[in-house]
Structure 1
Amino acid sequence: MNPPHTESAPSPVSPTSPRPRTATSSPPIKSLPPEIIANIMGSLTSRRDLGNFAASLPYFAAVLKASKISILKMMIKNMLHPSNLDICLLTMGILQVTRDGDDIWKCLYALAQRPTLDTIRDAETLCNMLDLTCFINDLLKIYTYPKYPDTFWRRALRKYSDRWPDGYVPDGDVSICPATRDRLHEVASRLWSVRDAALGNSPGSPPRAEHSSEVMALFQREMFCAELKLRCDMVVELGHNIPEWMFEEAPGDGVQSFLELLWCCSVHAMAKCWDRDDGDVWSEMNRSPWALGKSLGIRFYIGLATYMPIHADQKHIEEICQAIINFVTYYSFPDLYRDAYQWFPEFQEAAWEGLWNHTFDYCRLLDGGIVGELGGGTDYF
């Protein structure tokens, strides 16, 4: 029943009547009822695909306008495992500590307690949840290509790190013998092959390994943990303390090895293209704004995975560096950029209103004794 003095939005109407079905024909998609169109939209995997689909016909745009919340929730349910909804919301909220101070931790704790999509009702928050999940899943696709990802990436990083006596990239100039340089390139090439195969860029590659939904949910959570850890590092750098309950989860060695290998291989790729020593390039990169990108999280590593070349000239490498620097600029000066290309677009005001409404609803349930105990309840608000 609609509340008094309000009218529900009229349902979109198919522009054409379905043609009689025959054994050899099926109705065109534009003649399908709105419910079917909404389900098709809900099966898409990015906001870009959703926007392009809706823009293809006025009828589709009307369906999206009328059912946007339910469509976004369908997309999120298909892409985000329900057990990872809590860490997704927590990852979205962690940087708010840098704006509102340490008192915000209680809100963040409430955000992470058994949330459901039912309590999130604004489109902006859902859009930003979808964006963050898309970034996580893009890198997850590359990570899970090997049959045994954790073992594969740990061994790959270990083999790569053997080039240095102490197992770590040094400061300053370092001479690398031709045999060692060849081994470095071997490991880097393997990473490129895995990346290309996972992204479907190598038709001759074997099919990617299939993992169970339970295993994929765990890998997805670990990738969220990696993003959350990177954001926690930013919070600490700005002088805020991290409560103990935030350390209950951490990304596994496999995910950490994978991200570190992406970074190290990018250094080696640039050294190879510039015909310079890895140590020299490493030091130079650490002095430049480009290196700041490492603290920007998963999206930075997606940039590395996407742009890391096997063969490139110096001009190409410089363009890659400049692209990453531009990404860093969006984060370093957020007040100058108000478009969809910000590094953390989920921190739009509308998104925060939705997040806090969700937290408020959860605390109200706490006050009613419906869920577990948490001191404060709605008194905090």
Structure 2
Amino acid sequence: MNIFLIAGEASGDRLGAALMAGLRRAAPEVQFYGVGGPAMQAEGLQSLFPMEDLSVMGLAEVLPKYRHLRRRLHETAEAALKVRPDALIGIDSPDFCLRVARLVRAQRPDQRVMHYVAPSVWAWRPARAQKMAQVVDHVLALLPFEPAYMEAAGMTCDFVGHPVVSEPRATAQEAAAFRRDLGADGPLVMVLPGSRRGEVSRLAPRLGGALRLIAGAHPDAQFIVPRVRGTADLVAELSRDWPRPLHLLDPQDAGEKRAAFAAADVAIAASGTVSLELAANAVPMVIAYDFNWLSRAILQRMVRLDTVTLVNLVSETRAVPEFLGKNCRPEPIAAAALRLIAGGPERAAQLKAMAVTMERLGAGGDPPGDRAARSVLGALD
């Protein structure tokens, strides 16, 4: 059995790796092809090109790289046609993955196509589900309320759980050792400026401003910054004027990252799946995000919900404060973080919402990678 996978960013790479491991346990003869990052490569994938080539988000960010992305698009479709896989599986990154599927289906109409991570049609672009159904047969959903939207558009869909519920976490002893090594007696603030170069560039000055305000209120605070491979150099450059002590984590050291998540008192994070990673580690958070001005103007007319944070959506609360677009400013971000550091009802409400979120995403059940693998194999029967 041959499976062609496409992942375009770090979160998709982790999903893909877990799916590959699950498929190999269920069907040891499986062979993998496609595009992925280090986690998928560790599972045996030889990526066609660096996954980071696809880590672009927002209309204004895509336009300057349009020709390069178009070349990668056709290169990926041609490789898939050559492999003739039993399933072509896009993992998140729907703008790229669905275009590849369309090109492949144009030449091979019977190609079985699946998509892992349902596009957020419940939040914006509701017509996307119907358009997606033209080229996708089956969807693997991370959120429990998504199958109804996909099935209404004509696709089959399984809720497979979110992999964050089964990812390894540091022990209390490892967290304590991490704090001890830093000499952290005061608040330990985690800063997560994003995994894409465009968002890091936009957010870094605002996050730095918020950190200076936090340092003014808590001179004993320390700041830790987990980094991903594609933006590690940029984060180092743009954080030079952030307050100290500032600890930039090695993007290759997964153990250090796990210990940091377990040890942090509060986090300031770009919007995205990282909010679930923080929730899994019970780290109260503040979400800060902004697009390029053009993308922001377009999205403001399309978004249908009053929150973008997955913890809020899954828990059906608004416990996590968000500062988006024009509200993404140092002063309110810092004020919200300081309230969480102080404790009290806001921190307690977040911790409760996080526990509900983890339960609803499948904590305590079969690993989502295995559930996803069973869903893929079931859809191929």
Q: TM-score band (shorter)?
A: under 0.3
Structure (1 or 2) with the larger CA radius of gyration? 1
Bigger fraction of residues in helix:
1
Q: TM-score, normalised by structure 1?
A: 0.26
Bigger fraction of residues in strand:
2
